[in-house]
Amino acid sequence: MRRARTRSACLVAAGLALLTGTSALAQLTARSGGTYIVPPEMYSEWTRSSQYVAVRDGTKLAVDIYRPAVSGKPVSTPYPVILEATPYHRVQQTNGQITASNLKAWLPLLKRGYVVAILDIRGRGASFGTVYAGGFDQEATRWDLWDVIEWLARQSWSNGNIGMGGCSYVGLTQMWAAETMPPHLKTIAPCSAPTVDSHSQNLRANGVSLRQIIETWDRSMYENDVLKAGPPVDEDVGGEMLKAAVAEHRISWDRGTASWAPARLERPFRDSVPKTPEFAHLAGELWNYLPNFRLSKLPVLQFTGWRDPNLEQALALYQSLRSLGVAQRLIIGPWYHCAWYESQLYDSVSEQIRWYEHWLNGKSNGLLEAAPVSYYVQGAPSGQEWRTSTEWPLPNETSRKLTLTTSGKDQYVVNYSAAANLATRFHFPSGDVVDPGLKPIETDLLDSESTVYTGNRLDGDVELIGTPIVNLWVSSTAVDQDFFVYLEDVDKQGHSTLLTEGAIRASNRAARAPGFDNNNLPWHPSFKDDQAALVPGTPALLTFALNAMSNRVQKGHCLRVAINSFDAAGGWDTPVLDPAPLVTILHDAEHPSTINIPLTDALPVGTLRKSPMMYSHEAACHKA
């Protein structure tokens, strides 16, 4: 889990990270939404200063200010300000040396006449205050951001136009700021963030939680908040104010109220009333921001990835804001969480410069005339991977229903010793491979430990772009059961790789209409009274969406669905029952189990036939 902890604690702080060495940037290509020539750099120097800013309740927050400079002195010209509000330290200190945290993310803008502010949010780094329940849904932080944004707008070196950027948690802080509608906040870029429905989807999958990553994140944040809180601000020469700030951080950690994991345990359902007051959260959840976007029309730029756990959040945010008339750009690549900034597949530097130049400097650069959506198709012919669209879902998307055989049922005893260790979108890849999202996720071992259904060989290439929906009829000898479903591509040699996946807890199968636009996908909000136990031996229908995908499957390949009930190495909170339950998958005339496949090419209506429980390459595909 060390790799996962590093990503959770560090890479999510990467913000709108930009590649270094950008003095000679190429023009933004058509795949990025139109030709754009990046303006030249204006400065080669900058200065850093740090200070405390007191917010409305008197809490002091630490902020670093980076300004363009000439001959070692900051220029007096007022410029737009980019704010990054982070829980992961505004600066780092190693062996007594202070290193600017994430400054490389903002250098291309700093060199082009922008001021950059990096803020330790309340209870983090050198800032005073405390956090509760991981810091999520903390009302005080929302108004802290309003105060800091308006403070930035009043400074002599600011022209009053403030933008924000950041990834994951740092993207979430932008949504909090947007909810309060600061007058001088002109645009945000909340990339790969749990922006729309944090309770249902933030490391949850229809009621199944990824407990292991949550617990690992808590350990790393304790270290950040209490053990290694970062360097003091300039005025705190002796570090006494930093010690006082850390003492405030420690209060909630010592009481056990700062951690995310125990808060999740006390709030298993959306409407749970926690026993610990500090774990209370906003009743309406995060979609309360939508009415404010209707008023503010705050422009939004998003990067996300087909293997990002917050992909569905990004798509729902885009769809919800589109109906409100909000100007947007959405870029979806073959990326894991917050990994787009490391990618060589897309000119994110030019994309961001163009975005901020338009909204913060008023430049007419063709931004609004470009297609708002750019997306990558995995497996497409070379040079055709990147596409643009005027909307999402794609206007030419259609759906085909595939049936898991036409009669009968299949049974399996849940295998708690399964060896499959899937590197799905919820688990970051190991190693230093450039663009690891391009590497196929092999599923042969998974298939050998699952019940699998395989279709006919395709008589032509087909592009599957969108969100599959599963209708699965099941029963179990247990009163509750988790189900993991994987859609796979089986090649001509019989080897399978992952296209997409999803999970659901059977007791959480009730669906409702969300308070945001999710393209009418099944939404399982996890209300307490919606929970319904399985009646042993009685069929129940589970209707749920898998994660969105964008893949080209080649001629002669097959589609496969694999189903199991426990990912032993995945870190999910699936309970281990003794004796192991007997699970039944039904697929007869009264209980048609199906999967609706989104595509932009023709795919005949067909049947996915039962494959051997013990996987064999020879029986991998069926002839058409």
Judgement on whether residues 278 and 403 belong to the same structural domain of the protein? no
Identify the domain boundary among 277, 296, 315. Answer: 296
For the chain, the domain total comes to: 2
555 inside domain: yes
Strands 482-490 and 558-564: antiparallel
Distance CA 409, CA 610 (A): 10
Q: Which residues of 527-559 are buried (b: 16+ CB within 10 A; e: fewer)?
A: eeebbeebeeeeebebbbbbbbbbbbbeeebbb
Report how far Cα 88 is from the mean position of its chain's Cα atoms.
17
156 inside domain: yes
Closest CA to 232 of 66, 107, 63: 63
In this prediction, residue 204 carries a pLDDT of: 85
In this prediction, residue 196 carries a pLDDT of: 81
Per-residue tokens: 621: 């595909």
Judgement on whether residues 73 and 209 belong to the same structural domain of the protein? yes
Strands 158-164 and 79-86: parallel
Judgement on whether residues 68 and 187 belong to the same structural domain of the protein? yes
29 inside domain: no
49 inside domain: yes
C-alpha distances in angstroms, 566 versus 559, 573, 581?
22, 10, 11
Q: What is the CATH number of the domain that holds 537?
A: 2.60.120.260
In this prediction, residue 98 carries a pLDDT of: 75
Residue with tokens 């309060």: 180
In this prediction, residue 20 carries a pLDDT of: 27
Distance CA 379, CA 401 (A): 23
Residue 147: its H or E element = helix 139-154
Per-residue tokens: 408: 């009968």
320 inside domain: no
Q: If you write DSSP's letter for every residue of 269-338 in order, what string do you get?
A: STT---SSGGG---TTGGGGGHHHHHHH---EEEEEETT-TTHHHHHHHHHHHHTTT--EEEEEES--TT
315 inside domain: no
Judgement on whether residues 282 and 419 belong to the same structural domain of the protein? no
Closest CA to 186 of 80, 95, 86: 80
Q: Which residues of 273-309 are buried (b: 16+ CB within 10 A; e: fewer)?
A: ebeeebbbbeeebbbebbeebeebebbbbbbbbbbbb
In this prediction, residue 533 carries a pLDDT of: 98
Q: What is the CATH number of the domain that holds 164?
A: 3.40.50
Q: Mean pLDDT, 10 residues at a time, over the chain (624 residues)?
A: 28 28 37 74 96 98 97 97 96 76 87 97 96 87 96 98 95 93 97 82 84 90 92 95 97 95 89 88 58 93 94 94 95 92 89 97 94 96 95 92 89 85 64 84 90 92 96 97 95 95 96 91 94 96 97 95 82 90 95 94 63 42 61
Cβ-based neighbour number of residue 576 at 10 Å: 9
Q: If you write DSSP's letter for every residue of 26-46 in order, what string do you get?
A: PPBPGGGSS-BPPPPP--SEE
158 inside domain: yes
Judgement on whether residues 289 and 402 belong to the same structural domain of the protein? no
**Who's near 367: CB < 8 A, 6+ residues apart?**
36, 329, 354, 355, 358
Judgement on whether residues 110 and 248 belong to the same structural domain of the protein? yes
Report how far Cα 450 is from the mean position of its chain's Cα atoms.
28
Closest CA to 336 of 215, 429, 225, 413: 429
Judgement on whether residues 410 and 547 belong to the same structural domain of the protein? yes
3-state secondary structure of 617: helix
Judgement on whether residues 218 and 69 belong to the same structural domain of the protein? yes
In this prediction, residue 14 carries a pLDDT of: 30
Judgement on whether residues 404 and 291 belong to the same structural domain of the protein? no
Identify the domain boundary among 270, 296, 322. Answer: 296
Identify the domain boundary among 248, 276, 296. Answer: 296
In this prediction, residue 620 carries a pLDDT of: 52
Residue with tokens 């409305």: 56
17 inside domain: yes
The domain in which residue 496 lies consists of 398-619
